[in-house]
Chain A
Amino acid sequence: MADLTMVLLAIFAGISLFFAYLAISERNLVRALIYSAVQSSAFAFVFYLLRAPDIVLVYVPISVGIYPAAILFLIRKTKEVEEP
């Protein structure tokens, strides 16, 4: 049955889905990147709840630190707002 782990998994997966939608539909690239980082943080919790601490340890610095930094460098070389 749906115990506490299941409920927490559903909540964090829901948060990640919500922010994934926002990241895709947002036209301001920097804001979209922040939404994407929040989605990654929710994923980190999901990995932790699925009992994969090794993945959490590599996922947090990559998804919250290195990936947004790399994309920010790239956004700086283009325009901040996506044109329709």
Chain B
Amino acid sequence: MKRILVAVAIVIIAVIASLAATAGGALGPLFDGVRSLAEFYLFNVFNAHNATLTAMSPEAVTSIVWDYRGLDTLFETVVFYMAIIGCVALYRGIELVRDGPEVGLSRIVKTVTKILIVVNIAIAASIALHGHLTPGGGFQAGAAMAVAPIIIIVVFSRFFLMKRGVTKEVALSLRSMGLLGIALVALIPLVAWAATGTVAYVMQNQVKIDSSFSFPAYIGNALVSGSLIWYNIFEFLAVTFGFTIVFLLLSVDEKTVKNALRGEEHEH
């Protein structure tokens, strides 16, 4: 009880002190107008009249992430890729058995989960496919989607997921498909350069001053913002199945892992 009193006192003092400091202007003006950097992006992200600087997407954050600062995001994806590869390498040689007892939690939890999983998948898909229109994007959608396999593993068991085809191999190949897709979309301008001889840059989205290459901003009447929707969809695949692999591996029981490790030692 005494510990909680100390915590409450610390929090109240911190809140009052920070409120007083902020009200006194210690942090400078917050929420005061738009900074010049933000002004540039807000003016240009969806501006068909300024074709050489636009990303043709009303979502400024996704435009910056996959167009203006596209290479940064590409290397972030590489970091994520290496982390998952490290995890898979740690579990090498451990066979994931597909059949096993599906114990799981009670019937109430299972029923609620069945309903929530559908909602989860729908929300994740909408975050990914609307990533170039509303807040969200490939990584956000992948993170939201990755919650589904985790909940299924906890509530139903790992075998429930694997019997229905979501095995380590399937997840690995789907993730590789996502990464390959990202690489291909980044390299499509080079294909255009080879085919027609027009100047084009890697990861280019819309036309530039010296380049007439451009991804189609509209397909039919739907705004797809050039390459942004493709990056979002492939990143969604890569992140979803990257996390799925990690959780399939983490849920392997300790005995299996230890037996596999012991087997390795005997060989030497």
A-B CB contact pairs (8 Å), 15 listed: A6-B22, A10-B15, A10-B18, A18-B7, A25-B7, A54-B61, A54-B62, A54-B135, A54-B137, A60-B144, A62-B143, A65-B146, A65-B151, A66-B147, A66-B243
Complex: how many Å from CA A2 to CA B127?
34
Known: A57-B136, A61-B143. 9 other contacts (CB 8 A): A2-B22, A6-B23, A14-B15, A17-B14, A60-B144, A61-B144, A65-B147, A73-B250, A73-B251
Which A residue sits closest to B65, measured CB to CB? A54
Query: Which residue of B has the minimal Cβ distance to A1?
Result: B23
Which 9 A-B residue pairings sit nearest by Cβ, starting from the closest?
Answer: A53-B135, A65-B147, A57-B140, A14-B15, A61-B143, A58-B140, A2-B23, A21-B7, A54-B61
- The answer to whether A81 has its CB under 8 Å from any CB of chain B is no
A69 CA / B62 CA spacing, docked (Å): 28
- Least distance between A44 CB and chain B CB atoms (Å): 13
**Contact indicator per residue, chain B 129-150, by CB within 8 Å of chain A (1) or not (0):** 0000001110110011011001
Could you tell me which residues of chain A, from 1 to 29, have a CB within 8 Å of some CB in chain B? Answer: 1-2, 5-7, 10-11, 13-15, 17-18, 21-22, 25
Interface size class of B (residues with CB under 8 A): 35 or more
Most buried by B among A18, A22, A60: A18
B153: min CB distance to chain A, Å: 8
Note all chain B residues with C-beta closer than 8 A to A54.
61-62, 135-137, 140
Tell me which residues across on chain B come within 8 A of A25, comparing CB atoms: 3, 7
Nearest to A65 among chain B residues (CB) is: B147
A77 at the interface (CB under 8 A from B): yes
* Residue contact B144 to A57, C-beta cutoff 8 Å: yes
B residues whose Cβ falls under 8 Å from a Cβ of A: 3-4, 7-8, 10-12, 14-15, 18-19, 22-23, 30-31, 61-62, 127, 135-137, 139-140, 143-144, 146-147, 150-151, 154, 243, 246-247, 250-251, 254
What are the residues of chain B within 8 A of A70 when measuring CB–CB? 246-247, 250
Let me know if B61 and A2 touch, CB within 8 A.
no
Whole-angstrom CA separation of A62 from B143 in the bound complex: 6
- Bound together, the chains give a CA A80 to CA B23 distance in angstroms of 44
* C-alpha gap A11/B143 in the complex (Å): 27
B residues in contact with A13, CB < 8 Å: 15, 18
How many Å lie between the Cα of A5 and that of B254 in the bound state?
A: 48
Identify which of A7, A62, A69, A77 gathers the most chain B CB atoms within 10 Å of its CB: A69
Hey, which chain A residues are within 8 Å of B8, CB to CB? 18
Closest to A11 in B: B15
Q: Name B's interface SS.
A: helix
With A18-B11, A61-B146 in contact, is A2–B19 under 8 Å at CB? yes
Contacts of A7 in B (CB 8 A): 19
Q: Which residues of A contact B146 (CB under 8 A)?
A: 61, 65-66
* Interchain CA distance A1-B251 in the complex, whole Å: 51
Report chain A residues within 8 Å CB of B135.
Answer: 53-54, 56-57
Of the candidates A58, A60, A65, which one forms a contact with B150 in the assembled complex, judged by CB atoms under 8 Å apart?
A: A65
Partner of A58, one of B22, B139, B254: B139
Q: Give the chain A neighbours of B154 by CB distance below 8 A.
A: 69
